Amino acid sequence: MSEPSTPTSPSAPQAEITQLCSRHFTSIPLSLSRFQRRWFLTFPRTYGLPDPDSQRIVCALNSPDYSASDEHARNHFWLNPSCRSQRWNPSDSTTKYSAVSPIHLLLDSSYPVARLTGRIRSEPSNDPHDEGKQIACYEVEVVMLDDGLLRQCYYCLTWEASGKANSRFSPSGNDIYWCSSCEAAGWVNSTIRKLRLQDILPWSNVDENAKDNLYSPTRLMTTA
């Protein structure tokens, strides 16, 4: 008789955030993040930024494709090279990355995170200088595990690896995650706090204090 399969150990180590490193682009590693059908290059660490939550999105990678099945969209996207000109905060210090092709960043990682499927199609450019012209987009298959994606708390917009606590965030919905303090506060309190935050933001200095938000990609700005 064969051995019964052992159940997953409760003390299994938590998954690490996958870092994209390449000798060709920079000594600073990057990470991948996703909210549903939108993919982003992100900074997996704060790198000494004054506000660790303000500038973690390096660039968007795609325009979401709602024609794909949920299952396919889970680990495939159409890399739209013009998306890198969309940036959350025009005054950020990450502009140097716009000089590097996102394809190169993705495919050149010494730890494999993605590959091209070979499919190419055209999509409208997001660069305003292109005036909507069609550009070639490349289908990318993400080969790393979901657990390696860098997560953001949906409620307070904290990113993983922001503070001293290095615990990973837990799922709280469809591709939504929450940090340990929002999880401890519970769904009701965290939602109320989030709504208050949204009420206050329009009256505060949004341009100066805007935080990256994976969940609100409409707030990405074009800096080109």
Choice between 130 and 146, CB closer to Zn ion: 130
Choice between 47 and 187, CB closer to Zn ion: 187
> Tokens representing 209?
């204090």
In angstroms, what is the minimal distance from the CB of 105 to Zn ion? 9
In angstroms, what is the minimal distance from the CB of 80 to Zn ion? 14
In angstroms, what is the minimal distance from the CB of 177 to Zn ion? 9
> Tokens representing 195?
């709504």
In angstroms, what is the minimal distance from the CB of 85 to Zn ion? 5
Please provide residue 205's backbone torsions phi and psi, each rounded to the nearest 5 degrees. -80, 80
Choice between 68 and 130, CB closer to Zn ion: 130
Q: Is 136 within 8 Å of 197 (Cβ atoms)? A: no
Choice between 78 and 159, CB closer to Zn ion: 159
In angstroms, what is the minimal distance from the CB of 34 to Zn ion? 18
> Tokens representing 206?
């949004």
Contact positions vs Zn ion (CB under 5 A):
24, 108, 127, 129, 153, 155-156, 158, 179, 182, 224
Q: Which amino acid is it at 179? A: C
Q: Which of 158, 160, 190, 159 is nearest to 173 (CA)?
A: 190
CA distance 113 to 7: 28
Q: Which amino acid is it at 138? A: Y
In angstroms, what is the minimal distance from the CB of 56 to Zn ion? 14
In angstroms, what is the minimal distance from the CB of 116 to Zn ion? 14
Q: Which amino acid is it at 149? A: L
Choice between 43 and 154, CB closer to Zn ion: 154
Choice between 77 and 155, CB closer to Zn ion: 155
Q: Is 62 within 8 Å of 36 (Cβ atoms)? A: no
> Tokens representing 143?
């080969």
| Ramachandran category for residue 173: left, alpha or beta (phi over 0 → left; psi -120 to 50 → alpha) | left
Helix, strand, or coil (residue 81): helix
Q: Is 18 within 8 Å of 29 (Cβ atoms)? A: no
Choice between 129 and 133, CB closer to Zn ion: 129
